[in-house]
Amino acid sequence: MGTTTPSSSSPVIQHREVVSSASDLLANIEPTLRRVYLNRGITSEAQLDRTLKHLPNYASLTGIERAVSLIKNIIQADKRIVVVADFDADGATSCAVAVRGLRMLGAKYVEFVVPDRFKFGYGLTPEIVDVALALKPDLIITVDNGISSVQGVDHAHSNGCQVVITDHHLPPSHLPAAEAIVNPQLKGDQFPSKALAGVGVIFYVLLALRAKLGEEGKFKDMTPPKLADLLDIVALGTVADVVPMDETNRKLVHQGLLRIKSLRCVPGIKALLSISKREPNNIIASDLGFAVAPRLNAAGRLDDMSLGIQCLLTDNEQEATQLAEQLDALNAERRLIEDDMKVSAFKALESLKDNQGNTQKWGICLYDSTWHQGVIGILASRVKDRLNRPVIAFALAGDGEIKGSARSIPGLHIRDTLDDIASEFPQLLRKFGGHAMAAGMSLAEQDFELFTRVFDQAVERRLNGQEPSGVFLVDGEIPSTDLTLDLAETLRQGGPWGQLFPEPSFVGNFKVKNSRIVGQKHVKFELYTGAKNRVVEAIYFNPEDPDQLIGLPNAKLVYQLDINRYLGRSSLQLMVQHLEKI
């Protein structure tokens, strides 16, 4: 293939399809929110239950009985456990939940290690096993990693250490020989939610472990530990990893948010919210995703994720504040690095365009030897958003090797695309793994040009030569009289919103009263709503060319309803996602 050339096209605004026949089953819900729910396939109020009462039972998770038996025996024998984490926010929260939960359930000797992404790379490698072995563990428990770590598990076994793997990533054809593997993605697994993040998987293991200990009488003279107290951390990790917000994850996240709002959360989350200038009593899931998670992730991207894990483990308010300040400083540094990388990346993209300004690639590969290995995932995401193409950004990893971080678009499973390449060119990819929308890989620096061509062809095949067009799916229009603060609050509280259960978006034509640039790269609008010339404010963050939007008389907007809180006052604000001149 490769004979056709994709062209860039303007995004399309599409209205979501409504399951109208079910509308009477949601009759007690505010009309706009009811429409939003119907657009997402909700057909009964039972699907909106956010209590823990109907959480899926842990028993259907493959391997969980064996994992619980091993962990129980280790705890009862006062032996040592080392948790091996991943270096992103899901890994950090998974580790904090594991350490806190195991201690709550009676483990006396629980420590953790987390790989330095620049020294060890991802997963339970033999090198990170050696670091763990220095702590003399009897059992290693992986969280948010390990499903592909064949060599690491073998190395642990050769040193007399057992391994339990808890993970949620797609498994390879050849699994590690761990004593137990708990992963809802395993072939034949009957657990109803395949969308659990790594933190959700380890939380379920703890639920099963508490039940097993209870059956054996451990809590006969005491109240069983309240593992629901860990849900603030579970919520953070679930939102941060952008996993599908299915019914199970909505329950976990909602219950975690309730704990945060009532300040029944760990000091680290309080401190991260404070430094992010978010009021706990007003937060929703997106605040965790856009304010807290990046600061937590910054530790793993630039330094050592142990800093982030310690922030979630400490019960000392002062220490949590100090750690949050360090994480905030790292995040500010990350933003500066990212800005520099974006300049060089967007400059490189100009060479991929034809005379009409269309990008002549199906899949984009970018590499610069000066780029920071910890920031390439964010860079790939930014370029993907700009071009609506799957993107892999590479950085130098040393010893003639480069590491890539991929971000995909709806309709293209990026890990399966890499699998296609590995099947056709077995020597090209040294390592790879991931899921539908994100993946990581490594290859020889000298093979970059070859991989670039092969990836482009593999993406074209996966897309069947059909150009990916940017689509804004909207929930219809809102009558001007309904554009109110009350409706914005109703929609905010209707979540938790997230991947595959997206925050409501709407479309509408507005007359522009005023527009101005704020913060050098954002545009603030004052819009007439049509309701007695009432004016509502809107803001458009990071448009491609903000100067072109100043002075527009009219505009069609794709937007979300938001609440602007300032100096104790609340006002309605439209968050612009897309603008068309009319």
> Which residues neighbour 8 within 8 Å (Cβ) at sequence distance 6 or greater?
357, 358, 359, 387
Statement: residue 3 has pLDDT above 50: no
For residue 139, the cross-strand partners are 81, 162
pLDDT tens digit sequence for 246-285: 999 999 999 999 999 999 999 999 999 999 999 999 999 9
Q: Provide the percentage of residues in the chain whose pLDDT is more than 90.
A: 77
96 close to 312: Cβ distance less than 8 angstroms: yes
pLDDT for 550: 93
Tokens of 579: 């603008």
Mean pLDDT of 49-71: 95
CA distance 421 to 560: 39
pLDDT for 345: 94
CA distance 517 to 120: 44
For residue 539, the cross-strand partners are 524, 575
CA distance 87 to 89: 7
> Which residues neighbour 29 within 8 Å (Cβ) at sequence distance 6 or greater?
37, 45
Mean pLDDT of 506-512: 95
Tokens 């097993």, residue located = 212
Tokens 């293209």, residue located = 412
CA separation (Å) from 343 to 336, 353, 418?
11, 16, 27
pLDDT tens digit sequence for 119-133: 777 789 999 999 999
387 close to 345: Cβ distance less than 8 angstroms: no
120: helix, coil or strand?
coil
Statement: residue 385 has pLDDT above 90: no
CA separation (Å) from 209 to 165, 192, 237, 313, 492?
15, 20, 21, 20, 35
Q: Which domains does the chain have, with CATH numbers?
A: 12-16+472-581 (2.40.50.460), 58-329 (3.90.1640.30), 353-462 (3.10.310.30)
Decide the pairing of beta strands 391-398 and 401-407. antiparallel
8 close to 359: Cβ distance less than 8 angstroms: yes
For residue 517, the cross-strand partners are 523
pLDDT for 28: 84
As a 3-state breakdown, the chain gives helix, strand, coil percent values, each rounded to 5, of 40, 20, 35
CA distance 572 to 582: 24
Statement: residue 356 has pLDDT above 90: no
Tokens of 495: 């979540």
pLDDT tens digit sequence for 421-470: 999 999 999 988 887 888 999 999 999 999 999 999 999 999 988 877 77
> pLDDT band for position 39 (50/70/90)?
very high
Statement: residue 8 has pLDDT above 60: no
pLDDT for 4: 54
Q: Provide the percentage of residues in the chain whose pLDDT is more than 70.
A: 95
Statement: residue 36 has pLDDT above 50: yes
pLDDT tens digit sequence for 78-108: 999 999 999 899 999 999 999 999 999 999 9
pLDDT for 10: 67
> Which residues neighbour 33 within 8 Å (Cβ) at sequence distance 6 or greater?
490, 491, 494, 504
Mean pLDDT of 133-155: 96
How would you list the strands of the sheet with 401-407, edge to edge?
A: 364-367, 391-398, 401-407, 438-444, 431-434
> pLDDT band for position 1 (50/70/90)?
very low
pLDDT for 6: 55
pLDDT for 299: 92
CA separation (Å) from 148 to 38, 111, 164?
39, 23, 13
> Which residues neighbour 117 within 8 Å (Cβ) at sequence distance 6 or greater?
87, 300, 301, 373, 374
CA distance 574 to 559: 6
CA separation (Å) from 319 to 177, 315, 324, 537?
40, 8, 9, 39
pLDDT for 401: 95
CA distance 134 to 132: 5
Of the candidates 578, 497, 505, 492, which has an alpha carbon nearest to the alpha carbon of residue 542? Answer: 578
> Which residues neighbour 226 within 8 Å (Cβ) at sequence distance 6 or greater?
none
pLDDT for 537: 95
CA distance 395 to 301: 13
> pLDDT band for position 2 (50/70/90)?
very low
CA separation (Å) from 225 to 15, 95, 230, 356, 504?
47, 18, 11, 64, 37
> pLDDT band for position 357 (50/70/90)?
low
CA-derived radius of gyration, the chain: 24
> Which residues neighbour 222 within 8 Å (Cβ) at sequence distance 6 or greater?
none
pLDDT tens digit sequence for 537-564: 999 998 888 989 999 999 999 999 999 9
> pLDDT band for position 22 (50/70/90)?
low
62: helix, coil or strand?
coil
94 close to 64: Cβ distance less than 8 angstroms: no
For residue 555, the cross-strand partners are 510, 581
Length of the chain: 582
- With residue 448 as reference, give the H or E element that holds it: helix 448-462
pLDDT for 27: 80
User: Of 75-79, 351-355, 527-531, 538-542, where does mean pLDDT reach its minimum?
Assistant: 351-355
